[in-house]
Structure 1
Amino acid sequence: MSKNKIKKLVELEKVNHPDQSTENFEENLRRDISTDRQKFLEFLDENKSLKWERNEIPTQWIFEAWPTDFDELGEKMTSQVYFKMLKEEVVYSFDGWARKLGLCCSAVSKQVTRSYICNGGRGCEIRAGGTYFTREVDGVQTMFCKSHKNKSKTDGWTEHLNDEEEDEVRLRCRKCKRYAHVVCSLFDVTRSPELFLCKRCLVNKCEPILATKALGESKIAAHMMATLNPFFITIGCENTTVALLSSGYCDGVVQNTKLREWFKAVNAPEANPFIYKHIGVFQNSGDGTHDVQFFDMIVHEYVCGEKKGSVHLHYLDTNDHFRPYAKKGIAYRQIIAAYWVYAESVGFVDCHIHACPPQKGDSWLFWGHPKSQHYSTETQLSNFYAKTIDEAKENHNIVGHHPKFDLTKHNSIASIIKELYTEDGLWQKLIVSRLEKKKWSSEETLESFKTFVKNSLDAHKDVLFWVDIRKKTARKTDNIKILDRDEVFPSSFANTRDNWLDKQLEYNLQFDTVRTATYSTRMLLILLQQERKTLKRRQQAKRKCREDID
């Protein structure tokens, strides 16, 4: 259906129904626009293998939405990157067209956007179009992805294809009585559906919920931004901000009972206290209306105890929504390096990293990634961290990576564990696995444990990094002082990776498109803001209660 034809239909409808617009007409109009959009996208998919000449590429279609230098992309513009950019611009254009005609967007009524959680592992998702398996266990239907089903080594599974279409949630506007998508209207789903107003009927524009406003200032965010600003200015994305989503104290007590008992037997610390910090990086739309989170990282900072002065990069995830797209890799590396610069400034000396990419379909910190997003292999992720370290050495003068773990300096099992063990890290899994296969006791010899560690190090030599984040000119000392004065912002759902993903699942917050990522970012910021306000009120009430008692 052509644009002129739709305009004529709209005019005809106004003549026939001057006082109202029927829902049937609105649905037909939406379906026609959606069909046109789908045909356009299918055409691009069918022709993406064509070798387009440089002068044939309609660059004016993509420059506004994608501020990327052609020469930066080079030959990639003839393949996947160009078509991804072009498809998103097509959707963007159709959405604008639909809004001019009174609709909230041009989205197809039925969408394959629903991802299901795999019962075989936390953070594992079964995406649209993926294969999954079901099996009844004690009267309860369980759903596994192919990978976890194979690991279970059980029979009786039924195979399915996740191709069921479902409606994206729409609510009826209490003012104009039209239906609109919750995502398009940026509606706060913690409120009653009866209060829903579509974007067209809001008296004032939807109030911006920006990371800097919702979460306030923090020393870590300010320090990282001071390091990153010159880089962001150079690549033309000054609209990027860092924010501390949450932080808090954790006692670091070993949760696995067998492991804790064995640690006690060999005089290893049963607890390694740390402060968790959940760091998000956002890009503003440019008009100041919304932020989109594209980078998420959780670190554990050991501020006291046996591991004092060390940092564990616990989880890191991205969602492909950084712009300019061609600069995303170097931007991610710069962000990690900026954190190291901050950590060194407050007294930390090293950072431990295990380069462990998620399997295809899994989520680390973002629920739902773009279908076109590339999953790194273990080798690619290792190369990424190695390059991050090299760039940090050159740009920030840090010491860099220690390629080998020195076993000769350790004269006890406890000493080795103190340096290797991190909460939910690789060594926790390796030691637990060995405990299950072989009964260790307090008589375990140092030599046999060193042999186990050496073999494990050899098996994982390319994915383990110990990064000395001190300046090359810094004076080496054993007297480590942590000077972190940042206020803590504890959270019940942003404190761990599992809780963070559960909250996204609870409200079906996904990051698979810019549209859903915008909404999901807004909702998570609202939830964090509400939690901080509640915590502040409780603290004030406790303070007043103590004053009354005194």
Structure 2
Amino acid sequence: MSFENQENQTNQVTSPKASSNKTESHNPVQCRLSEMFSTEPKPKKIKPNPTKESNFKVYLFLSVFFFKPTRFTGKVTLNFFQTTKCCNLNDLRYGTSYKICMAEECRIPPGAKYMCSKAEVGKEVQNYCLKCFEDADLDVNDWEQKENTNPALEEIEECGICRELFHRVCELNIRSKSSFICTTCSPLRLLNMMREVGTVNKDACAKFMTKKLNEFIVANNQEKRHQQPVTVVSFSEQKEVDTSEMCPELDASDFTTKYSETVKFVYRAIYVYYRIDGIDVPFFSMFVSEYPSHAGQSWCIINYLDTVPYFKSEGIKRGAMHGEIILTYIDYMKSIGYENAHIWSNPPEQGNDYIFNLHPDYQKVPGSKWIERLKGKDDGIIQSFKTFEEKMGENAFKSCVDIPIFPESLWSNVMIEANFETSYKKCFMKKLQVLYKKHAVDNFWINLNKSSGPQPTIPALYPHSIMGDRMMFLDKCAEMNLEFSTLRRAKFSSVYLIELMHDADYF
């Protein structure tokens, strides 16, 4: 039977049914009753298929949650002719800091070979540079040679949609365990990313400094259109130290009489952020101690200070900005009734990190005298600014007990060191005289102008387990390879730290 005959027969069979449907359609009541009592299964309603464009939108949305792209690390990432789409940098190894040599005043630079003890002494790791190891005359069998390098490489990730390769640092992807979609395929990821510090807490010191510093930038910036704001973040907690821990044993009773059995103070961490390409990047940090009542006087002590060279504003030099930050902090302390301040100008050696992990190679370390250029007298903040040598010339310190000491401060460490070397009072005083000359001009005693504010008290505290502790912050940055050696890596570190700042237990 031909195909035409089959088609004709089929049409003949189906035509009556088709005609009956036509007649039924003219009676709506009968059609409704037949549908209700019909035993035949109802045909499924088929929705129209979405267009290719809507399909692609759904695909983009679901891919953010269900795609699990492959993560590559190390040299395996760029097999054959693969390259990253974000930049031309390949095979990027993370940096490392100087290591401490067990020999006095010696350091092990990055890339240098050194000897490491096979047996750890407590939690301390013993390291010697090769030269000092030869002079130490130690058993080679107990030591092994290593190289001061960081084995970690920047992670390269594959986008789950476009399948292009990107550096994790370039894409600011801080959530390393989640699926990765590049910012081109998922613009919402960039919008939802925390790139600005915002309001972390209600710390009065941070609010005061933020307002004053932005006023300083507005007044001195020559390019009014392109000025970027700075934001100050502060974390604080109360600490208590036994007086015997911060003074020499030879004069422990005299210091205890002066300061009582324990010393209470506020330990504060201050970070100053500057907005670069929409990201708040920290460029200045200092750790300070505040003593509302210390032997009858109020003191604020700047213990550690560190910077990275990422602040740029037309008409404002970085050194001037750093000095303004210090003065703004001292101005705040004056406003709440503090009378005295002390600064030990002890800049780190090239390659050492006080607060920020890894500085740029081109960054110059300021000398110890840059602090003398502070202009606080003209602003009515500072009444007098004197070196230790000048204070000694005024006969202000007749004995070592007259020198104000604070936990882990310069003169506390100096006296404990001198006492450690000798237990005789005369030898102790001779040793102190030598150290007096050594530190004659590197520490400054500052008297603040009297304020009409109330007597200093313990303020509202805003602690943070990592950002509020200098060593914890440094260790966290080293552990997670959060560097400030380049602006590119500083931006990535900043996004990570901003997330960490709002939730210390997130990572």
Q: TM-score under structure 1 normalisation? A: 0.65
Secondary structure (helix, strand or coil) at the match of 1:224 reads helix
Larger displacement relative to structure 2 (292-301 or 391-400): 391-400
Q: For the Cα contact (< 8 Å) 2:201–2:462, is it kept in 1?
A: no
Q: For residue 312 of structure 2, what is the aligned residue in structure 1? A: 323
Residue 188 of structure 1: CA displacement? 2.4
Q: For residue 236 of structure 2, what is the aligned residue in structure 1? A: 247
Q: For residue 277 of structure 1, what is the aligned residue in structure 2? A: 268
- Does 2:383 match 1:393? no
Q: For residue 75 of structure 1, what is the aligned residue in structure 2? A: none
What CA distance in whole angstroms lies between the structure 1 residues aligned with 2:377 and 2:251? 36
- Does 2:470 match 1:497? yes
Provide, for residues 468-497 of structure 1, a one-character-per-residue CA deviation record: whole Å limited to 9, x for no partner: 1225xx69xxx9811564x31112222332
Residue 299 of structure 1: CA displacement? 0.8
**Correspondence for 1:106 among 60, 82, 88:** 88
Say if 1:272 and 1:307 are closer, same or farther in 2 by CA, change over 3 A: farther
Residue 457 of structure 1: CA displacement? 2.3
**Correspondence for 1:265 among 248, 253, 258:** 253
**Correspondence for 2:343 among 353, 360, 363:** 353
Residue 201 of structure 1: CA displacement? 3.4
Matched residue type, 2:321:
A
- Does 2:484 match 1:511? yes
Say if 1:25 and 1:311 are closer, same or farther in 2 by CA, change over 3 A: closer
Q: For residue 422 of structure 2, what is the aligned residue in structure 1? A: 438
Larger displacement relative to structure 2 (449-458 or 158-167): 158-167
Residue 252 of structure 1: CA displacement? 2.8
Q: Which runs of 5+ in 2 are unaligned?
A: 1-71
Q: For the Cα contact (< 8 Å) 1:266–1:413, is it kept in 2?
A: no
State how 1:183-222 maps to structure 2 within 5 Å: 183-189=169-175, 193-206=177-190, 207-213=192-198, 215-222=200-207
Residue 330 of structure 1: CA displacement? 0.8
Over alpha carbons, which structure has the higher Rg? 2
Q: For residue 449 of structure 2, what is the aligned residue in structure 1? A: 470
Matched residue type, 1:462:
V
Say if 1:142 and 1:276 are closer, same or farther in 2 by CA, change over 3 A: closer
Q: For the Cα contact (< 8 Å) 1:183–1:516, is it kept in 2?
A: yes
Q: For the Cα contact (< 8 Å) 1:110–1:165, is it kept in 2?
A: no
Q: For residue 138 of structure 1, what is the aligned residue in structure 2? A: 119
Q: For the Cα contact (< 8 Å) 1:125–1:362, is it kept in 2?
A: no
Secondary structure (helix, strand or coil) at the match of 1:133 reads strand
Matched residue type, 2:438:
A
Q: For the Cα contact (< 8 Å) 2:384–2:448, is it kept in 1?
A: yes
Matched residue type, 1:133:
Y
Q: For the Cα contact (< 8 Å) 1:398–1:470, is it kept in 2?
A: yes
Residue 213 of structure 1: CA displacement? 1.6
What CA distance in whole angstroms lies between the structure 1 residues aligned with 2:477 and 2:186? 26
What CA distance in whole angstroms lies between the structure 2 residues aligned with 1:346 and 1:25? 56
What CA distance in whole angstroms lies between the structure 1 residues aligned with 2:269 and 2:500? 15
Q: Which has the higher helix share?
A: 1
Secondary structure (helix, strand or coil) at the match of 1:323 reads coil
**Correspondence for 1:227 among 179, 192, 212:** 212
- Does 2:470 match 1:488? no
Q: For residue 69 of structure 1, what is the aligned residue in structure 2? A: none
- Aligned-pair identity in percent equals 21
Q: For the Cα contact (< 8 Å) 2:114–2:130, is it kept in 1?
A: no
Residue 195 of structure 1: CA displacement? 3.1
Q: For the Cα contact (< 8 Å) 1:245–1:528, is it kept in 2?
A: no
Say if 1:409 and 1:397 are closer, same or farther in 2 by CA, change over 3 A: closer
Residue 302 of structure 1: CA displacement? 0.7
Say if 1:451 and 1:225 are closer, same or farther in 2 by CA, change over 3 A: same
Q: For the Cα contact (< 8 Å) 2:114–2:148, is it kept in 1?
A: no
Q: For residue 411 of structure 2, what is the aligned residue in structure 1? A: 427
What CA distance in whole angstroms lies between the structure 1 residues aligned with 2:163 and 2:135? 50
Count of residues in Structure 1 that have an aligned counterpart in Structure 2: 414
Provide, for residues 204-245 of structure 1, a one-character-per-residue CA deviation record: whole Å limited to 9, x for no partner: 042342554251443212222333233211224742323224
What CA distance in whole angstroms lies between the structure 2 residues aligned with 1:229 and 1:217? 18
> Alignment RMSD, CA only?
3.9
Secondary structure (helix, strand or coil) at the match of 1:468 reads strand
What CA distance in whole angstroms lies between the structure 1 residues aligned with 2:268 and 2:291? 11
Q: For the Cα contact (< 8 Å) 2:116–2:146, is it kept in 1?
A: no
- Does 2:320 match 1:335? no
